[in-house]
Amino acid sequence: MRRKLAAICLAAALTLSALPASAAGTERFPSVNEYPGYADVSAGIWYGDNAKICYETGLIMGTDRGFEPGRVMQISEAAAIAARMHHILSGGDGAIPNLPGAANWYDGQLAYLRSLASGDSVVLSLLAQPEQEITRLGFLRLLAAALPEEALSPINTISALPDSADSHVLRFYNAGILTGVSQYGFFRGSGTLSRAEAAAMVSRVAREDLRQAFSPTFDAAVWASGMTPDTVLFQGGGKTVTAKAYLNEVVALAGGLKTDYNWNDLREDGRTQMAYVKETALSNLGVSAGMGTLHYQSFDLQVFYSRYLDLTETVMA
């Protein structure tokens, strides 16, 4: 019943705290442009300094419509950024010439990056569809192909995340480039990436003083479910029940079952153990399955509790 989560050592992850962010040191990406400002980047906006640094270093430039911070980045744009970074770190100026007779502005940069990742099937697959939107994981894979170890010196000691065991992802978390989408460190790798979000990551690579010390908050139920505590699972009739309340109820009920139970075992009242936990949790919380949101409808109790046991046993081992 219990399936071990891949490649994690939570006991170590939870006892080691994040180290302080390092000083800027020698700039690997010097400022070469004077920032004129963008009409669509207002003063004080959270990504304003990031957009400025990316322009000054030539790593992310604007378009004829401005910076377009909310637009989802395409793979071609992400690949161009990664190629420029490698070119600069290799002594160049980031201006990679296009191929003779190229049909697209990015062909030369894709060819450059393709030569760096000739043995990486994931990167090559991304480069084969340049007009598609980039995901968060896809962007990191392109950057990882371009950046040497010394460009991502670790300042954190994170060995596990609630939704990713990818070594490339952990590398960027430990370098202070990423802190996830919540205090729990969720990566959400399949999510798309806006130009503003990309600028935040790239500027942290370029300027070490922007890197973030971080240690994800561990909560076995949250990590096992993949949901944040405030995710709404039930709503209706003036009542709202979040994942925190429901998961705690499920854990308490399942924990009260006999240690050698099977989810399909029948109880004295004729219900299976699974049905008992589900129905009793709903009754105790004063909700019905019909009030369940899409998050509840896709929730697999058996898989969740198996992961929960794995996590708690790893920490207590």
Mind listing the pLDDT tens digit for each residue in 39-52?
999 999 999 999 99
Are 234 and 291 contacting, i.e. CB atoms less than 8 angstroms apart? yes
Q: Does residue 6 lie within any of the structural domains? A: no
Whether the predicted pLDDT of 152 surpasses 80: yes
Q: How many domains does the chain have?
A: 2
Task: Give yes or no: residues 273 and 162 share one domain.
Answer: no
Q: What's the pLDDT score for residue 22?
A: 36
pLDDT greater than 50 at residue 160: yes
The pLDDT, as a whole number, for residue 215 is: 93
Taking residues 76-84, what's their average pLDDT?
98
Residue 263 above 50 pLDDT?
yes
Which range, 16-25, 122-131, 180-189, 263-272, has the best average confidence (pLDDT)?
122-131
Quote the CA–CA distance of 168 and 306 in Å, as a whole number.
26
CB 242: neighbour CB atoms within 10 A?
A: 18
2 falls in which pLDDT band (50, 70, 90)?
very low
Please give the structure tokens belonging to residue 271. 């219900």
Parallel, antiparallel or unpaired: strands 239-242 and 232-236:
antiparallel
Give the pLDDT band of residue 314 (cuts 50, 70, 90). Answer: low
Distances (CA, A) of 191 to 51, 201, 217, 282: 21, 15, 21, 31
pTM reported for the whole predicted model? 0.76
Structure tokens at 144: 């990882």
256 and 168 share one domain? no
pLDDT in tens, 177-234: 999 988 889 899 999 999 999 999 999 999 999 999 999 988 888 889 989 889 999 9
Domain assignment of residue 9, yes or no: no
* pLDDT mean across residues, the chain: 89
Angle, CA of 289, 295 and 301, to the nearest 5°:
70
Residue 224 in domain: yes
Among the candidates 210, 241, 273, a domain finishes at 210
Q: Are residues 64 and 191 in the same domain?
A: yes
Is residue 162 domain-shared with residue 261, that is, in the same domain? Answer: no
Same domain as 80, residue 60 = yes
- Residue 4 in domain: no
Domain span at 298: 220-316
Does 183 share its domain with 231?
Answer: no
Of 149, 175, 210, the domain-final residue: 210
Check whether residue 224 and residue 160 sit in a common domain: no
On whether both 163 and 98 belong to a single domain, the answer is yes
The reply to whether 191 and 89 lie within a common domain is yes
Q: Are residues 175 and 112 in the same domain?
A: yes
Same domain, 150 and 62: yes
Of 56, 7, 28, give the one whose Cα is nearest residue 149.
28
Last residue of a domain, one of 210, 235, 254: 210
